[in-house]
Amino acid sequence: MDLQDFLSAMKQIERLGPIEGILRMLPGVNAKMLKQVNADPKRLKHAEAIVLSMTAAERKKPELLNGSRRARVAKGSGRPISDVNRLLDQFREMQKMMKKAAQGGGRVPHGMPRGYR
């Protein structure tokens, strides 16, 4: 998974509609939880601007983004460097989740048949 894939995933989520509406459909989500979600639609546009300000090589290998490259990306996207750093942190977290999901998500609960691993 690279940053181009990350951007595509965020766009797909945007097409589902407002995130609050999606979360309301999930069982166990209450109003307090909805308040904690920072679902500003502008954030996706900002993330898109940041990713599109990167070179193709930087999108494929985010570890190339050193301080001066991050400053260039921030300037090109019209966003502060802190937003670039935040996006990269979110990307790394999503990478971890995807890797964990691909590995089967962890332990199988006691009593669960082997086929469910």
Given the structure tokens 């193709």, which residue do they identify? 56
Token duo for residue 84: 């670039």
In a domain, 111, yes or no: no
Task: Give the pLDDT score at 98.
Answer: 81
pLDDT tens readout for residues 59-83: 999 999 999 999 999 999 999 999 9
CATH number at residue 56: 1.10.260.30
In a domain, 89, yes or no: yes
CB 94 within 8 A of CB 4: no
Q: Which residue has the higher pLDDT, 17 or 54?
A: 54
Q: Which residue has the higher pLDDT, 116 or 103?
A: 103
Q: What percent of the chain has pLDDT over 90?
A: 41
How many domains are there within the chain?
1
Report the distance separating Cα 62 and Cα 59, nearest Å.
6
Range of the domain at 60: 3-101
